[in-house]
Amino acid sequence: MQTETRPANARIVFMDLIAFVVLAASIALATAVVLVGAVLLLAGRAHASETQHGALLLKSLDGTAAPSAPLLSTDVSFRVSGMVARARVVQIFQNASADWVEGIYVFPLPENAAVDRLQLRIGERRVEGEIRERGAARRVYEQARASGRRSALMDQERANIFTTRVANIGPRESISVELEYQQTLRYDNGRYSLRFPMVVGPRYIPGNLKVASADASGWSPNSDHVPDAARITPPVLRPETGLINPVSLRIELDAGVPIAHVSSPYHRVEVRSPSASRRVIELAAGAVPANRDFELTWAPRVGAAPQLAWFAEEKDGRHYGLLMVLPPAADPGARLAREVVFVLDTSGSMAGASIRQAKAALEMALARLAPGDRFNIVEFNSSAHMLYADAQPVNPRNVRRAIDWVRSLQARGGTEMASALRLALDGTDGGNRVRQVVFLTDGAVGNEDALFRLVRERLGDTRLFTVGIGSAPNSHFMSKAAEIGRGTFTYIGRIEEVQAKMAALFSKLESPVLKGLEVHWPEGLRAEAWPARIPDLYAGEPVVIAAALDRLDGELRVSGLRESRAWEARVPLARHTGAAGMGSLWARGKVEGLIDSIREGAPEETVRIAVIELATAHRLVTKYTSFVAVDKVAARPSDAQLKLAAVPTNLPEGWEYDKVFGELPQGATDSRFAMLTGALLLLLALAMLFAPRRWRLT
Amino acid sequence: MRPDLAWGAECAWPEREDQKPAATPWKYLALALLLIGGLQFGRGAWIQAKAWLAQELIAHAWSRTLKGEQQVKPWPWADTWPVARLSAPALGIERYVLAGADGSAMAFGPGHVSGTPVPGETGNSVIGGHRDTHLAFLRHLKPGDALEIERADGRRIGYLVRDANVLDRRDIWVAKQEGPDRLTLVTCFPFDALRAGGPQRYVVFAYEFKNRGGERGTRG
């Protein structure tokens, strides 16, 4: 019996082996074909939906510098004391050409900078700038320019975008503009941070574009939604042609208390420590190209962190003060059930490093959601899309699906932010859940005001948290949108920061807020404080107010409620620390309050008059007031022509030029390729089906 | 029970003596290839079918546009609408131009690059389209050939082809507004390439034909 079965068995095993090999080979082949097909399909989709927008295509967009553009370098020095910084920014315009040149430079400053001084420096001579109403300043400047005198003009375009113009720079001559500003530092979760933005990232300009005027220096013409688009879109150099606009930077830091740790996350710095509470910081490289924000953060030594600070200065018979009070940390209370809507910017400006950071942050956020919460995701570029029609419960399947969806998203196209905000702020209130919108974006848009109005109108009981992504986020958008959205803002500038920054944000999202904050001034004291309404505070945030007072006596009380438990702090006003520049900070706060009131319905003309009066008294650059400085003597001969040239800027680090500025339309489909490969596969299949049996397996 | 048969091949493959079963995976493979090939071919054919069927629907939307309606969507869920009719009389070509030169519009017709003026207005009107569907005819255009645009207001404008060039996708200077009123037609290059996504573009420059423009300005 056994001897009979052995050969048969052997043959069967041999046949099995062959069949197995053939089966495996065919499965592998089929899988490969399916995979190739899927890749082609996906690739086809990627090509087919390549989006262009007119705003990204127009006007002298060759990505190279105009030959007569002056070379620009910037020298920045900070003096930081406590929670206030004073900065001096020297912009050196160097005309390398043989012509007389007028240079225009569009640059960013911190969104809360109070610019209160400008000097024009010609060799050893200095001409002090004056604050004038914007139109008047421009007329003074234009007159001086026509008469051949060297002159400088500085306008504010946005809270964080400024323009300097310098006229009549002689052949091979250098002229400097020196400006100074005062700024309150951010104090959050036990760390101070000082941010110095270096470049205005290319902004998306929504709306219908108008025909560009000949002397406009921006890469975008104005549009009906952004009537000053040409003023906020400085020409951008292709990064391959080299990085320009070197910046050198020096910070003298006097924290007032022993410092534990200083860090500069985006630039290498050298730090010297003259004493426990002082540091001197300089860029290790000497100078860096202006292509990403600089940030310095430091923490006081444990136990040395101030819970309360009160700085004051007397000026023209009035006292100006800055108050910082840090409420004690909240007890980890009961975790609130939440409905979270994540909004992810997938526009062209996010392509590259930014989208990787944003996706990592979003994935981490999804993983952190708890059962019982609900969530949804909105992604937007030229149009907005939602993952689910309604918020879905958090469970492994939904989260898995969301993560897969997020991973498949690509950054390209325009930044139609309004449609995304409409989807996220849809009037629902999350029922008995706290409804939170987490908005991950670089804020590269030119229509901030329209978006702020939209947030204000549609917010309801939702809270909006902005997460500024990338090397040059629009800080004005991040902070103001979060302020109006009654949330808070976070910056992520590198993929390595995602973990820590998002964890800090979550502790804010999950802890109870301190609300109903009020400031009670002593009886009989005349005080005017900004912001007029103190926003709700999230974990780790201090109360910061700037005030003008007629005298410094009595006791100030700050009170609030956290989960129906009262909190109160008392400040004896007479016990202040002397500090300079408090008047500018107060005036800057008031200007912001006045301009914000336009959104709440105040007539713009009334506001404009009030701002001009205030800004003139405190020598501040605002939306309505500009600095102008004019030299006394004429320099340019009347027969020499003046050439206008915009200083080009770098593309922010990590951005992709072609994704931002678009390309010529993609004019092809994959139809022929698909039909050809399809036909070949069909032929092969038919051949296999009808081939004579003896060809097979042998 | 015989121990030698406990896990023998007989149990796993009882009919192994027969030649037939070996053919089964082969047949499945052939059928799978047939299916994949059919899907792949169908996908390609669908792109072409969609491109040409859509033009028929858009023709209807265009006639309503000429009657004074604005932004007529050719089908209810469309996110684009016809903005002009482009014709090349010598080649017998007629195409309805859609708003927006993005992939979703260009699947159905040549797209007008938003931000550039509508043809007939001052400046440089840029139109993009696919080299293997609506703008395949560009390769046959020669300098001096006539093109015509019919606008939503019924006005017709004549153009003469001035020049055609092979450029790079990043040569966005062709969308510059300075210079004479003109039409710039952009498609991919080379025309016979199999795959989409190449870096080259074929760009046709056509200048507005002013002399007889007045006579032809009204609808005939």
Q: What is the pLDDT of residues A593-619, one digit of tens each?
A: 999 999 989 999 999 999 999 999 999
Pick from A16, A670, A683: CB nearest B195 = A670
Would you tell me how many other CB atoms lie within 10 Å of the CB of residue A282?
15
Closest residue by Cα to residue A344 from A433, A397, A417: A417
Pick from B17, B25, B41: CB nearest A679 = B41
Whether A693 contacts chain B with CB within 8 A: yes
pLDDT at B135: 93
A665: chain B residues, CB-CB within 8 Å: 101-102, 106, 111, 113, 126, 128-129, 186
Q: How far is CA B166 from CA A543, A667, A668, in A?
A: 62, 13, 15
What mean pLDDT comes out for the span A270-289?
95
pLDDT at A590: 96
Between A73-77, A379-383, A387-391, B209-213, the lowest mean confidence (pLDDT) is in: B209-213
> pLDDT over 90 for what percent of chain A?
65
HSE of A493, CA atoms in CB hemisphere, 13 A: 20
Inter-axis angle of helices A498-510 and A353-368, nearest 10? 40
Pick from B30, B38, B170: CB nearest A663 = B170
What is the torsion angle, in degrees rounded to the nearest 10, for the CA atoms of residue A245, residue A65, residue B169 and residue A471?
10
Q: How confident is the model at residue A153 (pLDDT cuts 50, 70, 90)?
A: very high
Q: How confident is the model at residue A26 (pLDDT cuts 50, 70, 90)?
A: low
Contact map slice: A 398-417 vs B, CB within 8 A: 413
**Alpha carbon A14 to chain centroid distance?**
68
Query: In Å, how far is A265's CA from the nearest CA of chain B?
Result: 34
Strands of A84-94's sheet in order across: A125-128, A114-122, A174-184, A84-94, A71-81, A246-254, A278-289, A269-275
C-alpha angle B58/B60/B66, rounded to 5°?
100
Pull the structure tokens for residue A228: 């000053």
Kindly identify which residue of chain A lies nearest to residue B38, measuring between CA atoms: A678
Pull the structure tokens for residue A402: 């969301």
The CA distance from A289 to A74, in Å, is 10
A18-22, A85-89, A562-566, A577-581: which has the highest mean pLDDT? A85-89
Q: How confident is the model at residue A60 (pLDDT cuts 50, 70, 90)?
A: very low
pLDDT at B197: 75
Of residues A583 and A663, more confidence is placed in: A583
What mean pLDDT comes out for the span A379-396?
91
Q: How far is CA B153 from CA A86, A445, B66, B170, B213, in A?
A: 60, 34, 6, 33, 15
pLDDT at A666: 77
Whether B38 contacts chain A with CB within 8 A: yes
User: Buried b / exposed e across A31-52, counting CB within 10 Å, b at 16+?
Assistant: eebeeebeebeeebeebbbbbb
Contact A2 B4 (CB under 8 A): yes
**Alpha carbon A540 to chain centroid distance?**
22
pLDDT at A49: 30
The CA distance from A279 to A257, in Å, is 11
Contact map slice: A 140-169 vs B, CB within 8 A: none
pLDDT at A565: 85
Pick from A18, A669, A673: CB nearest B130 = A669
B167: chain A residues, CB-CB within 8 Å: 664
Kindly identify which residue of chain A lies nearest to residue B17, measuring between CA atoms: A12
Query: In Å, how far is A183's CA from the nearest CA of chain B?
Result: 39
Whether B131 contacts chain A with CB within 8 A: yes
Pull the structure tokens for residue A30: 């089929």
Contact A666 B169 (CB under 8 A): yes
Whether A666 contacts chain B with CB within 8 A: yes
Whether B71 contacts chain A with CB within 8 A: no
Query: In Å, how far is A343's CA from the nearest CA of chain B?
Result: 22
C-alpha angle A460/A465/A470, rounded to 5°?
145
Query: In Å, how far is A8's CA from the nearest CA of chain B?
Result: 9
pLDDT at A59: 38
The CA distance from A638 to B155, in Å, is 49
Of residues B168 and A499, more confidence is placed in: A499
**pLDDT tens, position by position, B24-83:** 888 888 899 999 999 999 999 999 999 999 999 999 999 999 998 888 989 888 878 999
The CA distance from A330 to A324, in Å, is 18
Contact A667 B33 (CB under 8 A): no
Of residues A217 and A400, more confidence is placed in: A400
CB A297 within 8 A of CB A263: yes
Provide CATH code, domain B44-216.
2.40.260.10
Classified as helix, coil or strand, A337 is coil
CB B109 within 8 A of CB B54: yes
The total number of residues shown for chain A amounts to 698
Query: In Å, how far is A242's CA from the nearest CA of chain B?
Result: 18
Question: How does strand B111-112 pair with strand B93-99?
Answer: parallel
- Structural domain boundaries in chain B: 44-216
Backbone angles phi, psi at A496, to 5 degrees: -65, -20
The CA distance from A550 to A548, in Å, is 7
A88-92, A234-238, B123-127: which has the highest mean pLDDT? A88-92
CB A209 within 8 A of CB A58: yes
What mean pLDDT comes out for the span A473-478?
96
**CATH architecture of the domain covering A338-501:** 3-Layer(aba) Sandwich (3.40)
User: Buried b / exposed e across A611-621, counting CB within 10 Å, b at 16+?
Assistant: bbebbbebbbb
Closest residue by Cα to residue A90 from A112, A117, A68: A117
What mean pLDDT comes out for the span A244-264?
94
Where are the strands (E) in A551-610, listed by range? 555-562, 565-572, 577-578
What mean pLDDT comes out for the span B191-202?
84
Topology given in CATH for the domain delimited by A308-330+514-618: Immunoglobulin-like (2.60.40)
Using the predicted structure, report yes or no on whether residue A388 has a pLDDT greater than 90: yes
pLDDT at A688: 85
| A648 preceded by a cis bond (ω within 30 of 0) | no
DSSP A60: S
Contact B44 A33 (CB under 8 A): no
The alpha helices in A345-442, defined as continuous H runs, are: 353-368, 396-408, 417-424
pLDDT at A58: 38
The CA distance from B208 to B96, in Å, is 19
Pick from B133, B167, B194: CB nearest A676 = B194
HSE of B29, CA atoms in CB hemisphere, 13 A: 23
CB B188 within 8 A of CB B141: no
CB A588 within 8 A of CB A112: yes
A694: chain B residues, CB-CB within 8 Å: none
pLDDT at B65: 93
DSSP A649: B
Q: Read off the pTM.
A: 0.75
B37: chain A residues, CB-CB within 8 Å: 677-685
Closest residue by Cα to residue A647 from A162, A203, A84: A162
Contact A22 B25 (CB under 8 A): yes
The CA distance from A131 to A145, in Å, is 18
**pLDDT tens, position by position, B76-107:** 888 789 999 999 998 999 999 998 877 778 88
CB A283 within 8 A of CB A296: no
Using the predicted structure, report yes or no on whether residue A213 has a pLDDT greater than 80: no
Pick from B9, B33, B41: CB nearest A688 = B33
Classified as helix, coil or strand, A600 is coil
Classified as helix, coil or strand, A613 is helix
Whether B150 contacts chain A with CB within 8 A: no
A51: chain B residues, CB-CB within 8 Å: 102-103
Closest residue by Cα to residue B115 from A238, A203, A64, A222: A222
Contact A667 B8 (CB under 8 A): no
Using the predicted structure, report yes or no on whether residue A182 has a pLDDT greater than 80: yes
Q: Provide CATH 3.40.50.410 ranges for chain A.
A: 338-501
CB B51 within 8 A of CB B107: yes
Helix, strand, coil % over all residues of chain B, rounded to 5: 35, 25, 40
Kindly identify which residue of chain B lies nearest to residue A687, measuring between CA atoms: B30
Using the predicted structure, report yes or no on whether residue B218 has a pLDDT greater than 60: no
C-alpha distance across the termini of chain B, in Å: 98
Using the predicted structure, report yes or no on whether residue A84 has a pLDDT greater than 60: yes
Backbone angles phi, psi at B109, to 5 degrees: 180, 170
Between A60-69, A634-643, B39-48, the lowest mean confidence (pLDDT) is in: A60-69
Q: CB pairs below 8 Å between A and B: how many?
A: 240
Would you tell me how many other CB atoms lie within 10 Å of the CB of residue A639?
5
Would you tell me how many other CB atoms lie within 10 Å of the CB of residue A166?
28
Of residues A648 and A12, more confidence is placed in: A648
Cβ burial of A598 (10 Å; 0-12, 13-18, 19+) is middle
**pLDDT tens, position by position, A402-426:** 999 999 998 877 888 999 999 999 9
Question: How does strand A565-572 pair with strand A555-562?
Answer: antiparallel
Whether B102 contacts chain A with CB within 8 A: yes
* Mean pLDDT score across all residues of chain B: 82
The CA distance from A100 to A644, in Å, is 9
Contact A52 B113 (CB under 8 A): yes
C-alpha angle A689/A695/A698, rounded to 5°?
130
Q: Which of A2, A220, A664 to mutate to test the interface with B (most CBs of B within 10 A)?
A: A664
Would you tell me how many other CB atoms lie within 10 Å of the CB of residue B11?
9
Using the predicted structure, report yes or no on whether residue B192 has a pLDDT greater than 90: no
Pick from A55, A58, A667: CB nearest B129 = A667
pLDDT at B209: 85
pLDDT at A377: 97
Query: In Å, how far is A189's CA from the nearest CA of chain B?
Result: 45
pLDDT at A394: 95
- DSSP per-residue letters across A416-428: -HHHHHHHHS-S-
What's at B136, amino acid-wise? A
Contact map slice: B 4-33 vs A, CB within 8 A: 4, 8-10, 12-13, 16-17, 21-23, 25-33
pLDDT at A429: 81
Pull the structure tokens for residue B47: 């792109």
Query: In Å, how far is B104's CA from the nearest CA of chain A?
Result: 6
Q: Which residues pair with A466 in a beta bridge?
A: A439, A489
Q: Provide CATH 2.60.40 ranges for chain A.
A: 308-330+514-618
B32: chain A residues, CB-CB within 8 Å: 26, 30, 33, 685
Contact A48 B103 (CB under 8 A): yes
* Mean pLDDT score across all residues of chain A: 87
pLDDT at A433: 87
Contact B116 A670 (CB under 8 A): no
Kindly identify which residue of chain B lies nearest to residue A660, measuring between CA atoms: B170
The CA distance from B117 to B114, in Å, is 8
ipTM: 0.80
Contact B115 A54 (CB under 8 A): yes
